[in-house]
Amino acid sequence: MTDKTASDILRIAVAQLNPTVGDVAGNLVKAREARADAARQGADLVLFTELFLAGYPPEDLVLKPAFLKACERAAQDFAGDTADGGPGVIIGTPLKRKSGTHNSIIFADGGKILAERYKLDLPNYGEFDEKRVFQAGPEIQGPVNFRGVRLGIPICEDIWGDVGVCETLAESGAEILLVPNGSPYYRGKVDIRQQVVIRQVIECGLPIIYANQLGGQDELIFDGASFAIGSDKTLAFQMSQFEEAVNVTTWKRNRAAAGAQNGNNSEGWVCSEGPMSKIPEKEEADYRACMLGLRDYVNKNGFRNVVLGLSGGIDSAICAALAVDALGEERLRAVMMPYRYTSKDSLADAEDCARALGCRYDIVPIFEPVEGFLHTLTQLFEGTKEGITEENLQSRARGTILMAISNKFGSMVVTTGNKSEMSVGYATLYGDMNGGFNPIKDLYKMQVYALARWRNTHVPPGALGPSGEVIPNNIIDKAPSAELRENQTDQDSLPPYPVLDDILECLVENEMGVDEIVARGHDRATVTRVEHLLYIAEYKRRQAAPGVKITKKNFGRDRRYPITNRFRDGG
């Protein structure tokens, strides 16, 4: 039975915040500010996200004893804050104990740490590599009594697998489950999370609060979208996606409701008050993920501004729009670098794009450096046919100029290759691949077009850029071209992008075999050629800048193929 002195109302604040990996002192400041905010809103308890004090994922920082000590000191200091009689706290931190180094939470109230809980199910797939640095908790630990309410605290993956943590906590008397998470974004992830939680609610019969981290960390985007599923399997509250928030939710004890449906508890808890934010769909979600990822990468790494090559093509145009939306027009420098093959349309389109965005726009012709390279190499290249080598010299001259601007003015170079190009190696090492970060690295070409059309009719929340058409329609409508030779188009070298993108999605995201892809209606020779190009471009991707993860399987953390690789499914 429930403690008769327990309150029938519990106000739980969910702190959906943007920590920085390694900035333990800064993260503690954010936590203190959030707790003060929650206190002003009347919260009894503040739930923070997974490894909040360390930032998530901390990776091999966890192997440094000094880092672990800094995190534990911060946790103890934060626990001491609760002596003021304000809200209790649940906050994530790494802890080194006799049983190992654990992905943990501390539960503090009244100036003391009341309990520690350790993650049991350590993920070791896709972007996760926790078994490298953490040890699993030794056993499932029971609920914590907080002011007369028994709270279970599984940590992230503990509710995704089949280890039975939620069911065991319910059997141990838990009344509500509070789950701190570091769950990265990919397309459709919100629905997947909710289905995971609904499955656990069905198993344990308890309401589950799912608190998720926000912010960009290298290639990963944490999108927030924290929520709860009630014991009736319906959405109890929904926080915003891609936005920081501290929302207080009110839970009331229903002393009659749960007894009939849940043999583990004689009372149940119902959320009577909480946010119901709308979750953005498709293009908006992807665009906002790219924007957040670029903003956090630039700001968290201390760059004052960014520079990119604005070619008059779709990829550089959308990257320019993302940069202005993420950072503001004054922090983007766009550079057009024409050569003899640059069309008048491209010159006009690049200028129109820069004008629409309001950013600085410079023109730096590359005729002299390219001709200088060609002259220098005349004797070595004598008797050879002009071709891709000479084309790549143009790209490398542009890359060198951008890096010179970066070195001189401290600007980070934004590189602009899309996933279709990165997949098949349609990019030049030490040329257009130069850069510090790529916001569209995980978007196929047709998705780039879709986002450009969406941005021309929408301004995403939090964007610093203008409304209206920011990517000229001529850029969207014209045939894509690298303009490295006369009358060149991408389709001279590649299948049409709708065909190429579908084949690549089959090969990369779905790991489909050649026969399966051909059965979808694709030409076998085209499929085997694309598969070959995908494999031989691995060495380029290993040297590429990091970029925002949008799909379920991005290049980098999710897809780790060998560079030396002779396997071909196509024969």
Residue 21: give its domain's CATH number: 3.60.110.10
Question: What's the mean pLDDT in 5-33?
Answer: 93
Task: Give the 3-state secondary structure of 28-55.
Answer: HHHHHHHHHHHHHCCCCEEECCCCCCCC
Out of 150-164, 246-260, 545-559, pick the least confident.
246-260
Out of 101-105, 163-167, 427-431, pick the least confident.
163-167
**Residue 222 in contact with residue 184, Cβ under 8 Å?**
yes
Asked whether residue 457 is domain-assigned, the answer is: yes
| 421 carries a ligand binding annotation | yes
Domain that holds residue 18: 9-279
| 329 carries a ligand binding annotation | no
d(CA 535, CA 525): 16
Residue 156 among the catalytic residues: yes
| 462 carries a ligand binding annotation | no
pLDDT at residue 488 in the model: 61
**Residue 236 in contact with residue 271, Cβ under 8 Å?**
yes
d(CA 137, CA 95): 11
Asked whether residue 554 is domain-assigned, the answer is: no
Q: Can you list the pairs that 551-555 forms with residues at least 24 positions away whose Cβ atoms lie under 8 Å?
A: 551/186, 551/187, 551/419, 551/442, 551/509, 552/126, 552/186, 552/187, 552/509, 553/126, 553/508, 553/509, 554/219, 554/441, 554/442, 555/419, 555/422, 555/423, 555/441, 555/442
Q: Which value, to the nearest 10 degrees, does the dihedral of the CA atoms of residues 508, 510, 513, 517 take?
A: -90
**Domain stop point among 465, 486, 507:** 486
Asked whether residue 533 is domain-assigned, the answer is: no
Highest mean pLDDT among 348-362, 374-388, 479-493, 555-569: 348-362
| 125 carries a ligand binding annotation | yes
> Which residues on neighbouring strands pair with residue 152, listed in sequence order?
177
Residues 311 and 352 placed together within one structural domain of the fold: yes
Sign of CA dihedral 177, 178, 180, 185: positive
| 131 carries a ligand binding annotation | no
| 549 carries a ligand binding annotation | no
Residue 480: name the closest of 442, 434, 444 by CA: 444
> Which residues on neighbouring strands pair with residue 414, listed in sequence order?
437
Catalytic residue among 30, 50, 441, 445: 50
Residues 273 and 377 placed together within one structural domain of the fold: no
Number of domains in the chain: 2
Instruction: Tell whether the model's pLDDT for residue 534 goes beyond 50.
Output: yes
Asked whether residue 154 is domain-assigned, the answer is: yes
Residues 296 and 330 placed together within one structural domain of the fold: yes
Cα distances (Å, whole numbers) of residue 260 to 168, 268, 376, 459: 19, 10, 85, 49
Residues 59 and 93 placed together within one structural domain of the fold: yes
Residues 363 and 445 placed together within one structural domain of the fold: yes
pLDDT at residue 266 in the model: 42
Which residues are CB-neighbours of 143 under 8 A, at least 6 positions away? 150, 151, 152, 153, 169, 172, 173, 174, 175
Which residues are CB-neighbours of 390 under 8 A, at least 6 positions away? 374
pLDDT bucket at 262, cuts 50 / 70 / 90 = very low
Asked whether residue 493 is domain-assigned, the answer is: no
Q: Could you list the beta-strand ranges (E) of 25-159.
A: 45-47, 88-97, 100-109, 112-118, 144-146, 149-152
Residues 178 and 145 placed together within one structural domain of the fold: yes
Residue 31: name the closest of 84, 67, 1, 75 by CA: 75
Predicted confidence (pLDDT) per residue in 327-357, tens digit: 999 999 999 999 988 889 999 999 999 999 9
Asked whether residue 510 is domain-assigned, the answer is: no
Instruction: Tell whether the model's pLDDT for residue 483 goes beyond 60.
Output: no
Question: Tokens 């729009």 label which residue?
Answer: 321
For residue 83, what are its two tokens? 């002596």
Instruction: Tell whether the model's pLDDT for residue 317 goes beyond 80.
Output: yes
Instruction: Tell whether the model's pLDDT for residue 569 goes beyond 90.
Output: no
**Domain stop point among 486, 512, 542:** 486
Residues 163 and 253 placed together within one structural domain of the fold: yes
Residues 83 and 227 placed together within one structural domain of the fold: yes
Residues 476 and 331 placed together within one structural domain of the fold: yes
d(CA 149, CA 144): 8
Q: Mean pLDDT in the chain?
A: 92
Is the bond leading into 57 cis (omega within 30 degrees of zero)? yes
Q: Could you list the beta-strand ranges (E) of 205-359.
A: 208-212, 214-217, 220-223, 227-229, 235-238, 245-254, 268-273, 306-309, 332-336
Catalytic residue among 30, 72, 156, 219: 156
**Residue 441 in contact with residue 541, Cβ under 8 Å?**
no
Question: What's the mean pLDDT in 103-110?
Answer: 96
Residues 240 and 186 placed together within one structural domain of the fold: yes
Residues 149 and 236 placed together within one structural domain of the fold: yes
Higher per-residue pLDDT: 31 or 141: 31
d(CA 488, CA 479): 10
Q: What is the CB neighbour count within 10 angstroms for residue 245?
A: 18
Question: What's the mean pLDDT in 361-380?
Answer: 94
For residue 74, what are its two tokens? 């911060």
Residues 264 and 403 placed together within one structural domain of the fold: no
Residue 509 among the catalytic residues: no
| 273 carries a ligand binding annotation | no
**Domain stop point among 220, 251, 279:** 279
At 101, phi and psi to the nearest 5? -95, 125
| 312 carries a ligand binding annotation | yes
Question: What's the mean pLDDT in 182-201?
Answer: 94
Question: What's the mean pLDDT in 516-523?
Answer: 94
The C-alpha angle with vertex 402 and arms to 401 and 407, in degrees rounded to 5, equals: 95
Question: Tokens 């303009």 label which residue?
Answer: 483
Residue 460, domain CATH? 3.40.50.620
pLDDT at residue 258 in the model: 46
pLDDT at residue 562 in the model: 83
d(CA 102, CA 138): 10
Cα distances (Å, whole numbers) of residue 73 to 21, 78, 102, 135: 16, 9, 16, 21
| 313 carries a ligand binding annotation | yes
Out of 201-205, 224-228, 260-264, 402-406, pick the least confident.
260-264
pTM: 0.92
pLDDT bucket at 254, cuts 50 / 70 / 90 = confident
pLDDT bucket at 481, cuts 50 / 70 / 90 = low
| 441 carries a ligand binding annotation | no
Q: Which value, to the nearest 10 degrees, does the dihedral of the CA atoms of residues 528, 530, 535, 540 take?
A: 160
Asked whether residue 272 is domain-assigned, the answer is: yes
For residue 396, what are its two tokens? 């490398």
- Residue 257, SS3? helix
Asked whether residue 539 is domain-assigned, the answer is: no
> Which residues on neighbouring strands pair with residue 273, listed in sequence order?
250
Catalytic residue among 30, 119, 300, 445: 119
CA distance from start to end of the chain: 67
